A and B are shown apart, each in its own frame.
Chain A
Amino acid sequence: MDILKIKNLRKIYHTKKRELLAVDNFSFNLKKGDFVAIVGPSGCGKSTILSVLSDLEKPSSGIIEYDKKLKFGYMLQDDGLFEWRTIYKNCILGLEVQKKLENEKYVNKLLKTYGLLDFKDSYPSNLSGGMRQRVALIRTLATKPDILLLDEPFSALDSQTRLAVSDDVYKIIKKENKSAIMVTHDISEAISMADKVIVLSKRPSIIKKIYDIKLDNKKNPIENRKDKNFAYYYDLIWKDIDYHV
């Protein structure tokens, strides 16, 4: 079932000197429970799509259809934890803002499930980069969003942590049965995590291709990288993106 329909989305940025077409003709439907990755060259306007979906920016034209009861949860590149708040207080930030403190039980459950209960009263500076990212995810999940928007969520981490955390986040999202749209510039990350990969062109971003990722034995992001189809998709997407140094 499609829970989100985007039709001919177009976003133009205006500055004094010029106008910049960031995204054009972006159409796509998201099924419930799907994990979709959007890849493209850097600066192509990938993040713009998420900003528009989460209502931080208005689209210039196009139609975005979804049940108004549906909620989006945004997760940014940087964990954005508030250093002056404890881990627990960070997790309930969204609940405080939306005055939904009745969800606190759920936060406790999430903290427990994902091994952060002992750090409840610690401050972010005492946590590793990976743990901080997990806190950021719990903060997003706390408001019980239906669709997660992940904007390069691991790019601030070093490559080993990045693998471990992406594995972690993937499992959490699947376990909590969320739909997700992830923007990334990392092709491997996209193939190893997503059910669908949307490849964007250079700016103005238009969809070049959409791949249904079919791996022989889909498990978790780390295992998926060993799948024999992994290299096949990697090769195709690499050619699509057409990187130039």
Chain B
Amino acid sequence: MSNEHKEYLKKIKRKNIIIKSFQILIIIFIITIWQLAANKGLINTFISSSPKNIINTILKLYKDKLLFHHIGITFYEVLISFSLGTIFGITIASILWRYQLLYKIIDPYLTILNSMPKVSLGPIIIIIAGAGIKSIIIMALLISFIITIIDVHHYFKETEKNKIKLMKSFKATKRQIFIKLILPSNIKNLINVCKVNIGLTFIGVIMGEFLVSKSGIGYLIMYGSQIFNLNLVMTGIIILCIMASLMYYIIVILEKRINH
């Protein structure tokens, strides 16, 4: 390796260190200022809580054996609705790719369903599925499902025309074109759909928990706001942030695996 190249690698490394340290510094800075402001009475901790209060709340939840109970429930709901939404969405998009006429027929309905705020269906869902986990999962499912169909179908249709032509010149069947070309060429896009869906599913699940649940992080936030315990609300939000980013990173790791 030439010295020049070593120098270049060092430069990149240095840059990365700077970026990472600033990222960590920012969060430390925010937490410190928040806590200091709370200590000095500059902010009303009843409304804005404080890092110390949040940690205490987490510890209390943990001691009461409620922390992982709530996290577990929410995680379970997210996992089920994410899996179902993604799998069904991709399957239906594949069917619509296969049968273009069917797609053209239902296209306007998909658009309407997509632009409609799904929460408005909440009351109907609760009446049909009952005030429980089932309703929450259906709600979250609805939110990610329609957009998955639309996005995945779009990606499938955008597959390079000349590659399709090439497959056709080999007399490939539609099925062969799908398995050998459409699906593998869209792996990256499908992973992106998963990334978006994780976020959407969280929205759906929390909304569902706001409406009906007796446990879960969404319930914790709702309950906290009803008894004016803003510490609980803030704690719920922080836990959600951590959960969502963890699930996102699981997909990123999966993505790296596939790319290698």
Give A contacts to B, CB under 8 Å.
54-56, 72-74, 76-78, 80, 82-84, 93-94, 96-98, 143
Contact = CB atoms under 8 A, between A and B. Distances in A.
Contact of A76 (B162, B171, B172, B185): B162
Interface in B143-197: 160, 162-163, 165-172, 176, 180-181, 184-185, 187
Contacts of A82: 163, 181, 184-185
Given A94-B170, A97-B170, 9 more contacts: A55-B171, A56-B165, A73-B169, A76-B162, A76-B166, A80-B160, A82-B184, A96-B180, A97-B171
9 contacts: A56-B169, A72-B169, A76-B166, A77-B162, A80-B160, A82-B181, A84-B185, A97-B167, A98-B171
Interface of B: 160, 162-163, 165-172, 176, 180-181, 184-185, 187
Contacts of B168: 56
Contact of A93 (B160, B170, B187): B170
Contact of B170 (A77, A83, A84, A143): A143
A61 B51 CA distance: 79
Given A93-B180, A96-B180, A97-B176, A80 B171 contact: no
Given A84-B185, A93-B180, A78 B162 contact: yes
B23 to A, nearest CB: 31
Closest 7 A/B residue pairs (Cβ): A74-B169, A97-B170, A94-B170, A97-B172, A80-B166, A84-B184, A78-B162
A58 B256 CA distance: 44
Given A74-B169, A93-B170, A80 B180 contact: no
Nearest to B177: A97
B168, B170, B172: residue with the most chain A Cβ atoms closer than 10 Å: B170
A76 B169 CA distance: 10
B162 A97 contact: no
Contact of A74 (B160, B163, B166, B181): B166
Nearest to A71: B171
A49 to B, nearest CB: 14
A78 B160 CA distance: 11
A162 to B, nearest CB: 19
A43 to B, nearest CB: 17
Contacts of B163: 80, 82
